[in-house]
Amino acid sequence: MAQAVGIRFRSAGKVFDFDPAGQALQYGDRVVVSTVHGQELGWVAREQREVEPEAPLRQVVREADYADMEQGARMRDNAEQAFDAALETVDQLDIEMDLVEAEYTLDGHHLTFYFTAEGRVDFRELVRELNGRFPCRVELRQIGVRDEAKILGGLGMCGRPMCCSTFLTEFQSVSIRMAKDQGLSLNPSRITGNCGRLLCCLRFEQPDGAEAVAG
C-alpha cells in the first residue's frame, strides 16, 4: 500500500493520485506536482488515503506559494499568445482542424495544443513550424467534440452551466433509448447538447433498473 492524495488540474477534470512525499496536505491546497511533461500546478481534490498503485506514484513537489501562482498566471497568458500564433499558422498552412486550447506546464517546458478535426490530420508540417517558433516541446492532441465542449464551457438549454464543465469528470455512454424511456421528444434539438451529442443529463434521469443501450 502507498499513501496518495488526489490532484486535479482543471475544473471538473479527472483526479490523479500523487505521492504526498510526507507533506500534510488538505483539501483545496494548491500544489506543484511532477508529471510526465514537467511541473504543473494543481490542487488537492481528495485527501490522503492508502492505495495500491499499479506503478510508482509521481510526487507532490511542494505546496504552491505566491511565486508559483504568479508563474501559473504568466503561463496562462503565454498560452493565450501561443494559441493566437498557432491559429495563424494553421490558417497559413490551410489545415482542416479547429484549435480549441493551448496549455503550458508550469515550468514552461511543454506546450500542448488541443484540437478537433473530422478525421485524421497530417500535422507534421504544423509541428515543425510550431517547434521552430516556441522554445519548448510542442505536442498536438486531438480531442472529441464532448471534450471540446467541456473545455470551452457555456450554458446548456436548461440555462445552467453545462454539466461537463462543472462537475462531470468522465463521460459515460448515453443512448436514444434513455430519451424513449423518459417519454421525451426525440426532436434532435431537444435532446442534444452544445457538442451536438445526446445530452449527458439523459443518464441522470434514467429510471432505476431501466436497460440502457449504449449509442
pLDDT of residue 208: 61
> Which letter does DSSP use for residue 135 in this model?
S
For the chain, what is the domain count?
A: 3
Does residue 109 sit in the same domain as residue 93? yes
Do 55 and 76 belong to one domain? Answer: no
Asked if 40 and 89 sit in the same domain, the reply is no
Is residue 213 one of the residues assigned to a domain?
no
pLDDT digit string (tens) for the chain, length 215 residues: 889 999 999 888 899 999 999 999 999 999 999 999 999 999 999 999 999 888 899 999 999 999 999 999 999 999 999 999 999 999 999 999 999 999 999 999 999 999 999 878 888 899 899 999 998 999 999 998 888 888 888 888 888 888 888 887 777 788 888 887 887 778 787 788 888 888 888 887 776 645 444 33
Is residue 33 in some structural domain?
yes
Both 50 and 81 in one domain: the answer is: no
Q: What is the pLDDT of residue 192?
A: 84
pLDDT, residue 137, reads 93
Q: Is residue 179 part of a domain?
A: yes
Q: For residue 135, what is the domain's CATH number?
A: 3.30.300
Task: Say what the pTM is.
Answer: 0.83
Residues spanned by the domain of 189: 160-204
pLDDT the model gives residue 214: 39
Between CA 100 and CA 143 the distance in angstroms is: 9
pLDDT of residue 204: 76
Query: Quick check: is 110 in a domain?
Result: yes
Q: What is the pLDDT of residue 215?
A: 37
Q: Is residue 211 part of a domain?
A: no
- CA–CA separation, 59 and 50 (whole Å): 15
In a domain, 183, yes or no: yes
Q: Is residue 84 part of a domain?
A: yes
Claim to verify: residue 74 and residue 56 sit in the same structural domain: no
CA distances from 17 to 40, 46, 50, 55 (A): 14, 9, 10, 11
User: 8 and 43: one domain?
Assistant: yes
Residue whose grid cell is 421528444: 185
